Amino acid sequence: MILDFVTWTANPNLYSGFITVRWYGLMFAIGFLIGYEIVYRMFKHEGMPEKWLAPLFFYVVIATVVGARLGHVFFYDWSYYSQHPADIFKVWEGGLASHGGTLGIIIAIFIYSWHVTKKSALWTLDRLCVPIGLVGALIRIGNLMNHEIYGAVTSQPWGFKFISNINQWMHGAEPVFTQPSHPTQIYEALCYVLVFAVCMYMYWRCNSQERQGLLLGVFLIGIFGSRFFVEFVKNVQEPWEIGLRQSIGLDQGQLLSIPFVIAGVWLVVRALRRPRLSQDYPGQFSDAETKK
């Protein structure tokens, strides 16, 4: 059966009552919980101290939110926030940028490595990046439920008609639908799941963590490379990007992705040129007193 477009009427709220549970927040939370479990198994597999996990979770959650928020503020809407600095703290009103979140995590891991593991930050990032692809995919599903970050008009049968007045519709107004548009949230989510699967395979089947920087490099190329290409069919996030796209053919998201892809290529080349590090896998935490 050929699809005749998809009329998307999902409610961003999973539950509305004494408290409101939004799909976006739920996807965010599920991603972090699954990510914690994956890193838990990695640390146990390699015989690392279990006590390293809780601080890592704390650092990553805070860095993701703060970095993503500041990324949106400085990369996309500084003209507004420079005049309304108090609004920077209103995270609940929306406005998070994945590039900022990535930078925030990288900075946080350097601090974490200095204070907690005493290992190279690259050691932690090689392991942490594995589940982040899945987290990113779940967040994009949250964007889908929010009727946001979708693409340009398309004649393809899988185009989605999103509700453009989503906030008013949630308060009882009649829905105003967009023209059939590229569901770029789904495009990105599928790409991120693929990156997650590749990194999981490389870690568990190929022991790619023995080539320091290889997993992180593949992650950066996969995530931001796919982001770069999906942007060609995605609507710009801020009006000023229209002029940028008209002048150089790229938007802000693509420009911000390029340095990450270059860094990823450099890390992969560097890792493959260096000898593989032999490593033992005891399958249990090194600090027995903190075992579950």
* pLDDT tens profile 190-234: 999 999 999 999 999 999 999 999 999 999 999 999 999 999 999
Question: Is 184 inside a domain boundary?
Answer: yes
How far apart CA 130 and CA 198 sit, in angstroms, is 9
What torsion, rounded to 10 degrees, do the Cα atoms 33, 36, 41, 45 define?
Answer: 180
Q: Are strands 13-16 and 20-22 parallel, antiparallel or unpaired?
A: antiparallel
Residue range 77-106: average pLDDT? 91
Residue range 169-178: average pLDDT? 96
Question: Is 273 inside a domain boundary?
Answer: no
Question: Is 112 inside a domain boundary?
Answer: yes
For residue 180, give both structure tokens: 């059939």
pLDDT of the residue at 292: 36
Question: Is 162 inside a domain boundary?
Answer: yes
Domain, as residue range, for 91: 6-202
pLDDT of the residue at 17: 83
The residues near 200 (Cβ < 8 Å, ≥ 6 apart) are 38, 130
Q: What is the pTM of this model?
A: 0.93
Percent of the chain with pLDDT over 70: 97
Nearest CA-CA partner of 191 in 109, 269, 257? 257
pLDDT of the residue at 253: 96
Question: Is 218 inside a domain boundary?
Answer: no
Mean of per-residue pLDDT scores for the chain? 94
The residues near 102 (Cβ < 8 Å, ≥ 6 apart) are 67, 260
- pLDDT of 291 over the 70 cut: no
pLDDT of the residue at 141: 97
Question: Is 72 inside a domain boundary?
Answer: yes
Beta strands in the chain (DSSP E): 6-7, 13-16, 20-22, 160-161
pLDDT of the residue at 289: 43
How far apart CA 214 and CA 104 sit, in angstroms, is 20
Question: Is 74 inside a domain boundary?
Answer: yes
Question: Is 257 inside a domain boundary?
Answer: no
* H or E element in which residue 217 lies: helix 214-230
Q: What is the pLDDT of residues 47-88, one digit of tens each?
A: 999 999 999 999 999 999 999 999 999 999 999 999 999 999
Residue 3's pLDDT band, with cuts at 50, 70 and 90, is: low
Question: How many domains is the chain partitioned into structurally?
Answer: 1
Q: What is the pLDDT of residues 113-137, one digit of tens each?
A: 999 999 999 999 999 999 999 999 9
pLDDT of the residue at 290: 40
